Structure 1
């Protein structure tokens, strides 16, 4: 067993999938060094996740690959429900410009995304990826340093970390180490997934098709110019790929057609009963498994990373209260559970189920799809506000607390950028009114910027958002969630005493170098 002083690191991340690497990049933005341990030496080459929403695009922007992801992704038109004869029952349209500043839905190839993330990781001096290793142990899960053991070609090694992030998938060793168990949300189906390349005339539209046929439910989408995906629930007997995809190709098509991957998955709906043991945390599939019917599996994992990393950085680098880390599970677990349950409901509704009530459910679904406005309502994004808690003050009706701030393009001193690039990685007070003396004093005490929305050149987007939420000002967390609100006509936040102690730090921050956009805020700092 090899151990030396170099084996002591702030954070060890188990798993170098999109969630683990994104977590490392976000930690680096906050000045926290990490070591990522991964059993594969290179990016796993076969496609898996293919869909994401505008919120995860915003998270990838924070990780440093937002524009690169734009280049490899394709905006998707939304979701269509088809009957067994492939007639359109309903459409759920998605906008090309969501509230987070990106298309509401995008298609992409996961290996390409992972390549972008790993390339960015290699450019960050505070991040280290060790591939081709097998993690053999994590623990103990105490408040002190956590021991991580792993094996590579040279033998057995150990690291001691201030925190460990388990991003190691459904069969997570990290979850086992903290004694986490699955809460079964009662959905399990075997599906076959087919990824294919062809330049042939595939019948498709610019979104996802869901065939609501209990005999052979299926999902179909175009990923890019030549890549397509089909998913079918398995039945007794076996159909060939050509038999399964025949409805989408011309009869007797004999042109180019390459099956990139054909595999079987068991779709499950589960949430871990605990996401934290001391300084060991679960993220992504280690914490929750989501059926694919609302395209939120990867999205939920990236939300985990965004929620946890700024809190962990504040504790590790600034000595914030350890209780701040408790809010990770209390905020993310209810939201993840909601998404998983929604995926289960949508799955049963869209596939028709396998029991005697399937026909009834299909008739009810068809009737609901004809209700005016319902499809527009169902097409809204899934990033619903966080539930009330220590870092989400929900004292007022229609409060913005817990919601994410929209991200328009802004312009300061003639320079245009997205809002998040302007605000940087810290807390921010956005205000639509002249700050009161109490608010200015609080800003100075917390060491946060006060940014008037009137001077941002965003076409009134943020001012309108504040008015609709009946707020004169909001306190944004580093993940762009509204922590607290100054109500219209008010002078201060609604309940400072409830959250300020969690953010109190025992030492000054050591921020990473300021970007050009961040430096523009000097003129608006208190």
Structure 2
């Protein structure tokens, strides 16, 4: 039986991202995907600058920019299409060097992810391979799969398996865990339309705050538009299968554009859920993406969470397989990611409830309150800031319990020198960022451990960032998250790096 260090079940964005990151570390992996080619229907359409940063890490900075469009933020509309509130985002670069919000077409994203993965000889994508069983023992996992077209069986043995196989995950069933409900279930109609016509709409996300028919609109690409509407009891997607039935829902945005110039790409029913798996790992098997969590789409974080899972786990797994990190670091994956995912799910639930709850009374309250939201100190910054919560305390997030710290937060992808940013210099390694000028011996010690030393000069973005955390030095992990931050001298950071095997 063929053996491989890592088998990844599923070649969606999460699986492809995990495979590429592992391949960058030289880890051989096999991606098994049921379908021969990319699923053609659009699904995810939005990501933030933190996830844009992950795509750049994969080598897709220019390619993703070519297929995506920055968006201007969020507008809240009442049922008469009047603007209740507007939260603008600057289309210029945020703290990570990318637009704080981008819109895209998922099949196009998957196409560039697949092409990019093909550049690495250590990664193999096997389409037309449906995984049928996962059998785990002390030393590895047997993965059985078949060709759906012929029924021909095959198998492979893996040291580790990453289940990136979606909401109906076979890996989750093999682990023996279940999805825990977080109290949100709504049926929505998702519509994708293509037109050459210019709809003349504001280039951001439109949230229709109508308790009778809540909705969302955004222009995803040059010719592609996405609408989502909450379905009433008894309604199904079949009730809106043609433009004659669909047009009354979207006409407020399409205006005088002739119906003949609007082509339906998809009109499908989705049940938006808030769920998280009870366990994300069983020994050598892990859950990532929709297999581990489902997020209502109101803040565009569903796919983002999966790519964050891959970023969190890949460097740890590569370190364990390469012998530079102890196997116990894998315990931090679920600890860190489950709390972060739940925080984002709660935020999505809050936004969804604010859009849809309260009936007519809720609508009256929104009309009265929303236009004054910008007067609440700090609320606009919160609504437009793409920064997500810090990671939970773990063996790899040394955050004090009783005081504020940079630990668990992402180090900004700041400009270091010329046009090089933090990620260009760190290049997927541990890094120490310090305001203290190191000695030659300290430099040599850090470099001997395969880490990078970055001196934060006075007045630089990294210097200001350290000061906001009341720190003189920070140890930054290969995924960009801060392991520890301290006001203590530089040798303390070197000792911290040594303690985790860096």
Check whether TM > 0.5.
yes
Match of 1:176 in 2: 173
In the TM superposition, residue 435 of structure 1 has moved relative to its aligned partner by 2.7
In the TM superposition, residue 197 of structure 1 has moved relative to its aligned partner by 0.8
Match of 2:80 in 1: 85
Is residue 408 from structure 1 mapped to residue 408 from structure 2 by the alignment? no
Match of 1:37 in 2: 32
In the TM superposition, residue 325 of structure 1 has moved relative to its aligned partner by 0.0
Distance 2:211 2:371 in 1: 14
SS at match of 2:457: helix
**TM-score, structure 1 as length reference:** 0.88
Distance 1:252 1:117 in 2: 35
Match of 1:289 in 2: 294
Distance 2:423 2:381 in 1: 28
Q: Is the 8 A contact 1:90 1:375 kept in 2?
A: no
Q: Is the 8 A contact 2:324 2:501 kept in 1?
A: no
Match of 2:403 in 1: 397
Is residue 479 from structure 1 mapped to residue 488 from structure 2 by the alignment? no
SS at match of 1:398: coil
Q: Which runs of 5+ in 2 are unaligned?
A: none
- The 3 A distance-change label for structure 1 pair 280 and 49 is same
Match of 1:493 in 2: 492
Q: Is the 8 A contact 1:352 1:361 kept in 2?
A: no
Distance 2:337 2:85 in 1: 31
Match of 1:514 in 2: none
Q: Is the 8 A contact 1:386 1:392 kept in 2?
A: yes
Match of 1:101 in 2: 97
Distance 2:42 2:362 in 1: 35
Distance 2:412 2:257 in 1: 49
Match of 1:375 in 2: 380
- The 3 A distance-change label for structure 1 pair 440 and 484 is farther
Q: Tell me whether 236-245 or 32-41 shows the greater mean CA deviation.
A: 236-245
SS at match of 1:454: coil
In the TM superposition, residue 234 of structure 1 has moved relative to its aligned partner by 0.6
Match of 1:26 among 2, 8, 21: 21
Q: Is the 8 A contact 1:393 1:495 kept in 2?
A: no
SS at match of 2:251: helix
Distance 1:493 1:311 in 2: 22
- The 3 A distance-change label for structure 1 pair 144 and 365 is farther
Please show how residues 118-517 of structure 1 align to structure 2 within 5 Å: 118-140=114-136, 142-152=137-147, 153=150, 155-235=152-232, 236-237=234-235, 238=239, 240-251=245-256, 253-352=258-357, 360=365, 363=368, 368=373, 370-395=375-400, 397-411=403-417, 416-435=419-438, 443=446, 446-454=449-457, 460-487=460-487, 490-493=489-492, 496=495, 500-503=498-501
Q: Tell me whether 329-338 or 244-253 shows the greater mean CA deviation.
A: 244-253
Q: Is the 8 A contact 1:58 1:100 kept in 2?
A: yes
Distance 2:259 2:142 in 1: 57
- The 3 A distance-change label for structure 1 pair 448 and 480 is same
In the TM superposition, residue 361 of structure 1 has moved relative to its aligned partner by 6.5
Q: How many residues align?
A: 490
Deviations 1:197-228 (A, max 9, x none): 11224241110000000011000000112110
Distance 2:49 2:350 in 1: 23
**TM-score, structure 2 as length reference:** 0.92
In the TM superposition, residue 385 of structure 1 has moved relative to its aligned partner by 1.4
Q: Which runs of 5+ in 1 are unaligned?
A: 505-526
SS at match of 1:193: strand
Distance 2:337 2:360 in 1: 33
Q: What is the aligned-residue RMSD (CA, Å)?
A: 2.4
Match of 1:513 in 2: none
Distance 2:41 2:369 in 1: 38
Distance 1:24 1:369 in 2: 43
In the TM superposition, residue 357 of structure 1 has moved relative to its aligned partner by 5.9
In the TM superposition, residue 380 of structure 1 has moved relative to its aligned partner by 1.2
Distance 1:251 1:127 in 2: 50
SS at match of 1:232: strand
Distance 1:154 1:254 in 2: 45
In the TM superposition, residue 436 of structure 1 has moved relative to its aligned partner by 6.4
SS at match of 1:493: helix
SS at match of 1:376: helix
- The 3 A distance-change label for structure 1 pair 426 and 176 is same
